[in-house]
Amino acid sequence: MPSTITLTTTNVVTQDGQNSSLIYNFPNSVQFKDHSITVSKISMYYSWTNINATPLANNTFTYQTRTGAAANAAVTVPIPDGIYEISDLNNFLQFTFIAAGFYLINNLGQNVYYAEFIVNPTKYSVDINCYPVPTALPAGWSLPTNWGLGYFGAVTYTPIITTPANFNKIMGQVAGFSTFGGFNLAGTATITNSSTTAPQVQPNPTIFLSASGIQNIYSNPSSIIYSVTPTTAVGTQIVEQPPEFSYCKLLEGTYNELRFRWLGTNLGQLKLLDPTMTITLLIRDNKAEGFTSGDGKQYTTVSAGKSMA
């Protein structure tokens, strides 16, 4: 029978802050020769960030306003690492405007913002809408307490939103895209920019488990032993139990440990917010189980019995 090893939160490497590497230390050194390994069950939480400083480097955007006839310097906005929907990014944009005093309060006491990110389901896009800033305070409206920045100009203009490299993928735009090449000095209409490519709101819709000491001749990199595509909501538990076991050959040698990593769709390291996970693996002695190996082939065990592929 295959031997079982289990990795839990205690095996997670936390020093790098990514929570996506695990180390399993054997009680004693073990000799592997004609052995294979497979995933039996995985339990983890959908907690990998879609915006972060490292490794995605997609955590900034910029905006620019105008005072009178002169353009203000572009403001770079850092986004805290996290899991964001477009509505969350729009809320953060509004939070940024509130902190800068770049908004007005209408006669109903509601904040009025002059740019927004919204989902456009019909176009399968993210729309960046920029609205004309008035030249004077409308009747019945009021200024925020931190206004004091002089955003009223002699003529109407719309703010500029720029999507730097990597953040542009979230918006479905090219790197460095700006909503308007220059200030719309006489504009009175909303400027809408829709995605020109499919927005990648979650850059890692599928993640991969890689393991040290693996010879998977059909995978690139050869260390991949399993993939997970969540069908649950963000923050909820993912439970994976494959209907059949796909064994990967372990390289011959003496082992003190096995190392595992969760990789993103682009095979870069993931950042997990929740390190709580349980990974159960089976290690099989191919000869003892009646399988032959050593020729680089991989084998599959199905629930009805053993079959060699």
Report pLDDT for 304: 32
Q: What is the pLDDT of residues 48-57, one digit of tens each?
A: 999 999 889 9
Report pLDDT for 294: 45
Q: Kindly list the structural domains of the chain, giving each domain's residue range(s) and its CATH number in brackets, ordered by start.
A: 3-48+204-307 (2.60.120), 60-193 (no CATH)
Spell out, as residue ranges, where the chain has pLDDT lower than 70: 68-69, 148-150, 181-188, 292-309
Report pLDDT for 289: 73
Report pLDDT for 94: 97
Cα separation, 106 vs 118, in Å, equals 21
Report pLDDT for 185: 54
| 5 and 25 Cβ atoms separated by less than 8 Å | no
The answer to whether the bond into 221 is cis (omega within 30° of 0) is yes
Report pLDDT for 298: 46
Report pLDDT for 186: 54
Report pLDDT for 216: 79
**H helices then E strands: how many in the chain?**
2, 24
Sheet-wide strand order for 125-130 = 115-120, 125-130, 191-193
Report pLDDT for 184: 56
